């Protein structure tokens, strides 16, 4: 075992076990109720608005790739892209998905194509609806802002990993009167989204969005399992705070193991 | 076994090896993990080719159909191919090849980044209006933090930097850590759903 990662590994096992147990309980028929998240509820409203106005829905799964610590955010964005694409296909709206990472392109194309197939509207699928713009961060954002402006987007959905371009994309959408739904787990960008977009998915809400949109009880089970993971984290925090206050470094030493 | 089931099994095997390589010092796992990540780099390079095809297809179609603003597409496709040809002749380290990067792309990127200041001002103007208790707290906190960071804040009230530090180190830090812990656990849950084949949105949807 790698030095200094024993506690991390045990914690990963505990949190994973809690999530898997809840998934299995959900499989067994456990009824799981989750609080509604305004940003997720607003997705249908945003697509409906774009349909009524005859304007596009702009979707970005973020600028992160499929590797490293930010990859999960890209996958979370793609999970929700499937739901949004189904809504777009169902309502007969038009969508443009802008892509920064080449590796994300084939996945996004497949997600959108399958969504149109699932809705029985494959003939309405536009091959040009998923657009690779550039691997360069600011070239990508300039391209995406151009599309939002020229096409006068009615809805701007940003779900994934974003960096400095987050505010630019939301502001570009605001200036053409688009409704913005933005979500990220990038802690430095959350304040920009909160300040500038109409609805924000913060941190874990981004990861839960795909599962909640699907309404699949097994997926919802994993969300319930997360709560036990959070309980574990809270327990460590409280015991650690009390121990440190009492002059003991037992939790700090444990975490360093 | 259909295509999706095969991909789910493949994802689970590769995912578990990469996770194990992070925690265990077993030579075989470490080597396999590193090898798989190298494959990732090769696949990413191949994907760049797919992306170039996507870009060319969309813009050549725009040109041939004379869609709105098709002239921009001519510029894009032209530069794409000219730069690629220069790259083949001059190599990626060549002076001619890098001229465009250094004199067009880099300054344009810097310009876009600089524009962020104006976007922040525009967003702040909308956000910092005291329409509710929440937005009033945001407005007051932001004003104190801004004043605490500027010399004028200390001139108005000596303790302004201390109040700013408290806001940043206590409520702000607590909220940030809360979000990070929640996001970390959320990412684990998403990873488990993907490894177990419950979440298949990235493979084109469908349930297990």
Q: Is the dihedral of CA A65, A71, A77, A82 positive or negative?
A: positive
Q: Is A182 left (phi over 0), alpha (psi -120 to 50) or beta?
A: beta
B181 interfaces chain A, CB cutoff of 8 Å:
yes
The token pair that represents A254 in the structure block: 């444990």
Q: For residue B203, is pLDDT > 80? A: no
Q: For residue B126, is pLDDT > 90? A: no
Q: For residue B1, is pLDDT > 80? A: no
From edge to edge, which strands make up the β-sheet containing A56-62? A130-132, A94-99, A56-62, A155-161, A179-184, A199-202
Q: Is the dihedral of CA B153, B154, B160, B164 positive or negative?
A: positive
Residue-level pLDDT at B134 = 86
Residue-level pLDDT at B206 = 64
Backbone angles phi, psi at A100, to 5 degrees: -100, -40
Residue-level pLDDT at B131 = 82
Q: What angle do CA A151, A156, A158 make, to 5 degrees?
A: 135
**Contact present, A81 and A91 (Cβ < 8 Å):** no
**What is the least distance, in Å, from the CA of B55 to any CA of chain A?**
6
Q: How many angstroms separate the Cα of A51 from the Cα of each of A86, A91, A92, A208, B9?
A: 13, 7, 7, 26, 39
Residue-level pLDDT at B199 = 87
Confidence of residue A106 (pLDDT cuts 50, 70, 90): very high
**What is the least distance, in Å, from the CA of A220 to any CA of chain B?**
10
Task: Tell me if B79 is assigned to some domain.
Answer: no
The domain made up of A38-214 has a fold known as Rossmann fold (3.40.50)
By C-alpha distance, the chain B residue nearest A211 is B199
Higher pLDDT, B127 or B153: B153
Mean pLDDT over B36-43 rounds to 92
A159 interfaces chain B, CB cutoff of 8 Å:
no
Question: Domain range for residue B34?
Answer: 1-47
**What percent of chain B has pLDDT above 70?**
98
| One-character DSSP codes across B44-96 | HHHHHHHHHHHHHHHHHHHHHTT-TTHHHHHHHHHHHHHHHHHHHHH-TT-HH
**Contact present, A173 and A180 (Cβ < 8 Å):** yes
Which of B193, B6, B54, B41 has its CA nearest to residue A65?
B41
Q: For residue A213, is pLDDT > 80? A: yes
Nearest Cβ partner of B113 from A130, A138, A185?
A138
Cα gap A133→B194, rounded to integer Å: 27
By C-alpha distance, the chain A residue nearest B128 is A195
Test the A interface: residue of B145, B167, B186, B207 with most A CBs within 10 Å? B186
- Rounded to two decimals, the ipTM of the complex is 0.93
Confidence of residue A47 (pLDDT cuts 50, 70, 90): very high
Instruction: For residue B197, list chain A residues with Cβ-Cβ distance below 8 A.
Output: none
Task: Tell me if B173 is assigned to some domain.
Answer: yes
Q: For residue A134, is pLDDT > 90? A: yes
Residue-level pLDDT at A202 = 96
Task: Tell me if B185 is assigned to some domain.
Answer: yes
Confidence of residue B201 (pLDDT cuts 50, 70, 90): confident
Q: For residue B125, is pLDDT > 90? A: no
Confidence of residue A70 (pLDDT cuts 50, 70, 90): very high
Q: For residue B202, is pLDDT > 90? A: no
Residue-level pLDDT at A239 = 96
Test the A interface: residue of B138, B205, B206, B208 with most A CBs within 10 Å? B205
DSSP H stretches of helix in chain A:
6-27, 38-53, 71-91, 104-118, 137-150, 166-175, 190-196, 204-214, 217-245, 250-256
Computed over every residue of chain A, the mean pLDDT equals: 95
Place of tokens 């913060």: A202
Cα gap B208→B196, rounded to integer Å: 9
Select from B30, B47, B64 the last residue of a domain.
Answer: B47
Confidence of residue B208 (pLDDT cuts 50, 70, 90): low
Cα gap A123→A89, rounded to integer Å: 10
Q: For residue A158, is pLDDT > 90? A: yes
Residue-level pLDDT at B3 = 83
Place of tokens 């600089």: B114
Q: What is the pLDDT of residues A72-100, one digit of tens each?
A: 999 999 999 999 999 999 999 999 999 99
By C-alpha distance, the chain A residue nearest B41 is A67
- Within chain A, all domains assigned CATH 3.40.50.1220 are found at 38-214
B105 interfaces chain A, CB cutoff of 8 Å:
yes
Task: Tell me if B1 is assigned to some domain.
Answer: yes
Q: What is the pLDDT of residues B128-174, one digit of tens each?
A: 888 889 889 989 999 999 999 999 999 999 999 999 999 999 999 99
Cα gap A201→B68, rounded to integer Å: 35
pTM of the entire structure?
0.94
For A91-122, give the secondary structure using H, E and C: HCCEEEEEECCCCHHHHHHHHHHHHHHHCCCH
- CA R_g for chain A: 20
Q: For residue A20, is pLDDT > 90? A: yes
Q: What is the dihedral of CA B184, B190, B195, B200, to 10 degrees?
A: -160
Q: For residue A214, is pLDDT > 90? A: no
B137 interfaces chain A, CB cutoff of 8 Å:
no
Task: Tell me if B62 is assigned to some domain.
Answer: no
Cα gap A236→A239, rounded to integer Å: 5
Task: Tell me if B31 is assigned to some domain.
Answer: yes
Task: Tell me if B174 is assigned to some domain.
Answer: yes
Question: Which residues have CB under 8 Å from B97's CB, separation 6+?
Answer: B83, B86, B87, B90, B91
Task: Tell me if B114 is assigned to some domain.
Answer: no
Cα gap A102→B44, rounded to integer Å: 7
Confidence of residue B205 (pLDDT cuts 50, 70, 90): low
Nearest Cβ partner of B201 from A67, A105, A210?
A210
Q: How many domains does chain B have?
A: 2
Looking at residue A68, what DSSP letter applies? S
């Amino acid at each position: 075992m790698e030095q200094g990662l024993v506690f991390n590994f045990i914690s990963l096992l505990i949190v994973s076990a809690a999530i898997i147990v809840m998934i299995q309980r959900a499989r067994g028929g456990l009824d799981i109720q989750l609080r509604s998240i305004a940003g997720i509820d607003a997705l249908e409203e945003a697509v409906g608005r774009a349909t009524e106005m005859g304007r596009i829905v702009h979707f970005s799964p973020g600028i992160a790739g499929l590797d490293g610590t930010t990859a999960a955010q890209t996958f979370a964005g793609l999970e929700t892209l499937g739901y949004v694409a189904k809504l777009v296909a169902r309502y007969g709206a038009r969508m443009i998905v802008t892509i920064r990472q080449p590796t994300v392109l084939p996945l996004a194309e497949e997600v959108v194509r399958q969504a149109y197939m699932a809705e029985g509207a494959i003939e309405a699928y536009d091959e040009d609806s998923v657009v690779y713009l550039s691997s360069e961060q600011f070239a990508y954002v300039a391209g995406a802002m151009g599309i939002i402006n020229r096409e006068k987007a009615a809805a701007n959905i940003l779900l994934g990993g974003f960096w400095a371009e987050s505010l630019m994309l939301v502001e570009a959408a605001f200036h053409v009167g688009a409704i913005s739904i933005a979500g990220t787990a990038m802690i430095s960008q959350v304040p920009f989204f909160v300040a500038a977009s109409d609805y924000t998915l913060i941190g874990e809400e981004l990861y839960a969005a795909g599962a909640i949109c699907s309404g699949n009880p097994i997926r919802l089970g994993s969300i319930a399992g997360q709560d036990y993971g959070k309980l574990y984290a809270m327990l460590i925090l409280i015991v650690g705070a009390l121990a440190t206050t009492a002059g003991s470094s037992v939790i700090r030493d444990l975490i360093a193991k | 076994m259909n295509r999706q089931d095969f991909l789910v099994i493949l994802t689970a095997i590769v995912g578990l090896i990469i996770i194990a390589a992070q925690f265990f010092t077993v030579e075989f796992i470490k080597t396999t993990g590193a090898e798989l990540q190298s494959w990732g780099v090769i696949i990413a390079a191949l994907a760049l080719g797919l992306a170039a095809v996507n870009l060319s297809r969309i813009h050549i179609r725009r040109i041939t159909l004379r869609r709105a603003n098709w002239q921009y597409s001519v510029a894009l496709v032209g530069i794409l191919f000219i730069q690629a040809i220069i790259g083949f002749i001059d190599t990626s380290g060549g002076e001619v090849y890098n001229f465009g990067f250094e004199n067009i792309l880099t300054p344009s990127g810097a310009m876009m980044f600089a524009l962020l200041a104006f976007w922040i001002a525009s967003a702040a103007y909308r956000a910092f209006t005291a329409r509710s208790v929440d937005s009033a707290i945001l407005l007051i906190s932001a004003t104190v933090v801004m004043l605490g960071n500027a010399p004028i804040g200390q001139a108005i009230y000596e303790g302004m930097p201390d109040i700013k530090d408290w806001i940043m180190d206590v409520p702000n830090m607590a909220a940030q850590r809360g979000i990070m812990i929640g996001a970390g656990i959320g990412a684990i849950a998403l990873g488990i759903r993907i490894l177990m084949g419950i979440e298949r949105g990235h493979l084109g949807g469908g349930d297990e």
